[in-house]
Chain A
């Protein structure tokens, strides 16, 4: 079967750094997405990784290791507005998007 695992909830402090992990077991791999979703709103695209390594985009970075079936999203200089759910999604061999359950990130002052 296809499986994506993320922590259910994480808490971090404003100004700090947090790493949200995602492990996956899917039938094939054609890339991994991270989306951000604020409560009651639509998911918005953060990053896409298809090759191993780190992709940096401002305060957010995403890392991929295909051999380990592992990715993480790194958020630096946390702001209160970063409180949201972070969804990991993998594109499988049929180019279908397999979603993780999401990680709810709570930022405290």
Chain B
């Protein structure tokens, strides 16, 4: 299995809602990532988990809350989002973090719209 699976593919939520994005990989990768991508922009790193521990938080607002229940799963909990948070949220994994040839395998993304 060489895929990263993300659900849901599309999500529309109001500013008072609580929702979660889910990501799963079965490649034995020990690093997992959340990226946010706006149209015609490169991916922006949000969080990195290494061996199920949060290694990097790129000063992301607390309305985004990541969780790594086990080595295969990564969640992003969303609460009280703003319309400007509407974007494509990409999950990625790699064998390890902290090496040069660290190829990221991306999921297809979750397209989030905040009304």
Q: Does A84 contact B (CB under 8 A)?
A: no
Q: How far is the CA of A100 from the CA of B88 in the complex (A)?
A: 17
The answer to whether B42 touches A102, judged by C-beta atoms less than 8 angstroms apart, is yes
The residue in chain A whose Cβ has the minimal distance to the Cβ of B58 is A96
Chain B residues with CB below 8 A from A30, complex form: 99-100
Main secondary structure of the interface of A (DSSP, over half): loop
Cβ 8 A contact of A45, one of B45, B105, B107: B105
Interface size on B, residues (CB 8 A): 22
In the complex, the answer to whether A41 meets B108 with C-beta atoms within 8 Å is yes
- Per a CB cutoff under 8 Å, which of A31, A40, A41, A102 touches B100? A31
Chain B min CB distance to A32 (Å): 9
Bound CA span A50–B67, Å = 33
Question: Roughly how many angstroms separate A45 CA and B93 CA in the complex, as a whole number?
Answer: 12
CA distance A2 to B111 in the complex (A): 28
Q: Does A101 contact B (CB under 8 A)?
A: yes
Q: Contact check, B102 vs A41: say whether CB atoms are below 8 A apart.
A: no
Other contacts beyond A31-B100, A43-B104: 11, CB < 8 A: A30-B100, A40-B111, A41-B108, A42-B109, A50-B100, A96-B45, A97-B104, A99-B42, A100-B42, A101-B41, A101-B42
